[in-house]
Amino acid sequence: MTVKIITDSCCDLPLDYVLKHQDALQVLGMPIQIETEEIIDDLGQSYSHAEFYSKLRNGILPTTSQINVHRFTDAFKSSLEAGAHIIYIGFSAALSGTYNSALLAKSLVLEDYPDAQLHVIDTKSASIGLGVLVIEAVKMAESGATADAIERFIIDNHLNAQHWFGVDDLFFLKKGGRINTATAAVGTVLNVKLTLIVDQAGYLKPYGTVRGRKKSLNFLISKLEEHYEENRTNVVLVGHGNAIDDALRMSDTIRSTYPNLEIIISELSMTIASHVGPGMVAIAFLGKGREL
C-alpha cells in the first residue's frame, strides 16, 4: 500500500522539489488575498513570486487565511480512493486554524471510510522547519515505509525541527503585532536585525538581535553549528524572502564547514512572506532539542 504525504504551502519547499516527488507528496495551498484578488498559494505556479515580493516592497499587505474543511475532505478522499494511506503533516496549530480544519475533515472522511489509515499531525513547526519534516517523511514513503512508521518518526522528531529566521525589515512584524511600533522604529534606525524562533509550543517568538545583516547571517550559521546532529539528517534548508544572494552566501559558508550536507535553497511562500516580509533569510534542519 502506498503512502501519500499531504502538507500545506507553509512548508516553504521549492516548487521543483514538490513536482519531482508528486507521487508521494501533495501540497495544499493556503488562501491569500492581495488587494481585491483572492488566490491560492501554489508555490509560485500561478502567481509569480517576483510580482508578489514587488508588491510587498511597495507596501501592499496581503492577508492570509486557513485551508477550509471542504478542501481537506476532497484531498483526503481523492488519495484514499487512489488506494493510498494518508499522513497530513501540518503547519503549527498555534499559528493557524488549518490543523483543526484537517482534524474536522478527517472525522468526516472516516464516516465514509471507517477503515482508512488517515493520520493528521500538528508538527508545532512552520515554514522550512515544517519543510524538513516533510522531506524526511517523503524519503520514508518513497522507501516503502508504512504510514504508522512515518507517523511515529514525525511525532518523535517534530521538536527536533530547528528553524531560525533572520528578519531584515521590522515593518512587517510590527504590522502583524509581533513587535511594537517603538521597537520597530528604534531597530530600523540602529540597523538591528531580529532573529525569530518557533518555540516548543509552536509559536513564533523573538529570540535575539544583532547589528547588521552580516552578523544576522552568521548568527543563523552559529545555530546550525550548535544544534546540528549528523545522525538525524543530512539535509539543511535555507529559506529566503526574495534574497537569493544572501541565501547563496550563507549556503556557501555552510558547505565550507559541512561539505557532505545536502543544502536545499527555497524562496519563502507567499503565505509566510506575508507575515515576515521580503529579505528574511532562514535556516532549518533536524537537530537536538528545540530551544524554548
pLDDT in tens, 15-39: 999 999 999 999 999 999 998 889 9
The percent of residues in the chain predicted with pLDDT above 70, rounded, is 91
Helix (H) or strand (E) segment spanning residue 52: helix 49-57
Give the angle 159-99-68 at the CA atoms, nearest 5°. 155
Residue 54 backbone phi and psi in degrees, to 5 = -65, -40
Least confident piece of the model among 42-51, 223-232, 253-262: 223-232
Closest Cα to residue 41, out of 25, 29, 28, 26?
29
Biggest alpha carbon–alpha carbon distance for the chain: 59
CA dist 30 and 98 (Å) reads 9
DSSP lists the bridge partners of residue 85 as 3
Domain 2-158 coded CATH 3.40.50.10170 = yes
Check if the beta carbon of residue 284 is closer than 8 Å to that of residue 161: yes
Give the tens place of pLDDT for each residue, 260-287. 999 999 999 999 888 888 888 999 999 9
Residues of the chain with CATH 3.30.1180.10: 160-286
Distance CA(5)–CA(21), nearest Å, equals 10
Q: What is the chain's mean pLDDT, rounded?
A: 90
Residue 160 CA: distances (Å) to CA of 84, 113, 130, 220: 28, 33, 11, 16
Do 161 and 133 contact (CB within 8 A), yes or no?
yes
Task: Give the pLDDT confidence of 155-201 residue by residue, as tens digits.
Answer: 999 999 999 988 876 666 656 555 555 444 444 544 667 888 899 99
Residue span(s) of the chain under CATH 3.40.50.10170 come to 2-158
- Compare 26 and 292 and report the one with higher pLDDT: 26
Q: Note the pLDDT of residue 11.
A: 96
- 123 Cβ contact partners less than 8 Å away, ≥ 6 residues apart: 89, 90, 91, 92, 129, 130, 133, 154, 158, 161, 202
For residues 267 and 49, the answer to whether their CB atoms sit within 8 Å is yes
Q: 160-286: which CATH number, 3.30.1180.10, 3.30.420.10, 1.20.810.10, 3.40.30.10?
A: 3.30.1180.10
C-alpha cell at 188: 530600523
For 12, 50, 92, 273, the CA distances from 242, given in Å and listed in that order, are: 13, 8, 24, 9
Q: Percentage of residues in the chain with pLDDT exceeding 90?
A: 70
pLDDT in tens, 52-72: 999 988 888 898 999 999 999
What local confidence, expressed as pLDDT, does residue 191 receive? 61
The b-or-e profile of 262-284 (16+ CB within 10 A means b, else e) is ebbbbbbbbbbbbbbbbbbbbbb
- Rounded to an integer, what distance in angstroms lies between the CA atom of residue 271 and that of residue 86? 24
Model pLDDT for residues 203-230, shown as the tens digit of each residue: 988 887 788 888 889 999 999 999 988 7
Read off the DSSP letter of residue 31: E
Q: Is the pLDDT higher at 108 or at 63?
A: 108
Q: How far apart are CA 114 and CA 134, in angstroms?
A: 26
- CA neighbor of 126 nearest in space, from 179, 153, 100, 162: 162
